[in-house]
Amino acid sequence: MTARPEARSPNQVGGGNSRPMPPSEALDATEAFLGRFVCFPSEYARVATSLWVAHSYLLEHFDSTPRLAFLSPEPGSGKTRALEVIGSLVRRPMHAVHCTPAALFRAVGDLDNRPTILFDEIDSVFGPKARENEELRAFLNAGHRRSGLTFRCESVGNTHTVVSFASFAAVALAGLHDVPDTIATRSVIVKMRRRGPGEAVEPYRLRVHEPEGLAIGEQLAAALDSLVIPEDPVLPAGVTDRPADVWEPLLAVAEGVGGAWPGRAAEACLHFVAGRAGAAEPSLSLLLLADLRRVFLEAGNPDALATAPLLAGLLGLEESPWRDLRGKPLDPSGLARRLRGYEIRSTNLRVGATVAKGYRQVDLSDAWMRYLPPIHGEPVGNPFGGVPQKPATGATPATHTHHQEESGTNRAQFREERLPTAVAALTDDGATREALAATSGRTTAGGHSVGA
């Protein structure tokens, strides 16, 4: 663990008669320096990293700070190099490799000398031995917001005192594979990769190039010293909730700097937010909702289905996870348990002369509407238009069609013209999974987190 707590406080540079560089030019120089030594996967990643470096000098202006995570599937992809180069540019860098929780708590708790944490080999914290690093995980989760505190009990003799440590700090991470969702949703994730033919960068030599980076960092600090930061930067359309928390500081820096940076920051924001949504894996419960909708459609969109044919439809889907859940197929109790979180419960359905347990479409439609992408732009809870049926009383016929008011001729025409289109949309696994994943980070007004 190394630290340079005296490096480049904005109040320590730019003095004398020297005139600070314009902020946009200083940020341009920062980006150019990063691009010389780091093979970024895209221009958007380089822009985001440059803005993150700048935000480390302006942390007192923000209520949240995004984590910057350099991740890759294999070693030798430039993650550590990215942290090394960033370390010469940010405010008070602290390289934390195998850092103890106590050292980290006290370093960040020193508000007058709060460091920027550069945490390499983060896979050792979130890997198979993650339980040994629970305190570090808690710190990284709590430090995303200014209000984040870490509490510890300190003992002196027989006296025990609860001590709070501020956890709010800018943190950049580097490691293999992925990080937990609690970190990923608070991060700008840069997917690093090994350089391909024709992708060349300059070799980074610490003794040669670090002084150059330090000088550029000092120029950046001086340029940002009197920068006016907007309280409510303009967010691109559709960026809300957690992605807005992540990107608001970076967009505020870009808006304050001016020049071409606001537009470039907005483009980078949309790129990462869309990429994160497309890469997110839906939870099993969310996937169950989508597959239930698919089964209802393939069954002709009845008002209700008994549990037995509903489970048969789920188990019959190609690449279905329902055939093997911890060695057993999904059963009626498992189905009921997974749907209970959405306040969906089975009911008595009349199947011929008997009554069996099953599920009504009207009970599922609210969850479909809230958690799943629409089918061809139509309301999810009522895939074929019109008004959903009112809940029936008593035992509901399992074979009653959704559009009861239509004549037999109209109903047949309706299914012939529109049902194949809807079913085709749902059976296109790639498109469905991509659209479904795009909703996996949404949180409803009731506080249910999708993908949890």
Tell me the pLDDT tens digit for each residue of 290-343: 999 999 999 999 999 999 999 999 999 988 889 988 889 999 999 999 999 899
Look at residues 279, 295, 328 and tell me which one is the last residue of a structural domain: 279
Same domain as 195, residue 236 = yes
CA–CA gap between residue 344 and residue 347 (Å, rounded)? 10
Same domain as 293, residue 272: no
- One domain for residues 136 and 32: yes
Q: Is pLDDT of 108 > 50?
A: yes
Look at residues 279, 299, 320 and tell me which one is the last residue of a structural domain: 279
Q: Which of 279, 312, 347 is the last residue of a domain?
A: 279
Same domain, 74 and 128: yes
CATH label of the domain that carries residue 187 = 3.40.50.300
My answer on whether 80 and 122 are in the same domain is yes
One-character DSSP codes across 294-349: HHHHHTT-BSEEEHHHHHHHHHTSTT-GGG-BTTB---HHHHHHHHHTTT---EEE
Residues 275 and 288 placed together within one structural domain of the fold: no
The answer as to whether 450 is a domain residue is no
Which residue in this structure is represented by tokens 């002196």? 156
Tens of pLDDT, residues 229-264: 998 898 988 888 888 989 999 999 999 999 999 999
Q: 448 lies in a domain? A: no
Cα dihedral 193, 79, 279, 65 sign: negative
Tally of domains in the chain = 2
Are residues 265 and 288 both part of a single domain?
A: no
How much is the pTM?
0.64
For residue 84, the tally of other CB atoms under 10 A from its CB is 22
Q: Are residues 212 and 170 in the same domain?
A: yes
> How far from chain centre, in Å, is Cα 235?
17
Identify whether 449 is part of a domain.
no
For 312, half-sphere exposure in the C-beta direction (CA atoms, 13 angstrom radius) is 8
Same structural domain for residues 227 and 305? no
- For residues 389 and 327, membership in a common domain is answered with yes
Q: Write the single-letter amino acid at 65.
A: T
Q: Which residue would you say has higher pLDDT here, 394 or 20? A: 20
Is there a single domain that holds both residue 339 and residue 412? yes
Q: Does residue 325 sit in the same domain as residue 251?
A: no
Q: Which amino acid is at 77?
A: S
State the residue range of the domain holding 112. Answer: 2-279
The verdict on residue 447 lying in a domain is no
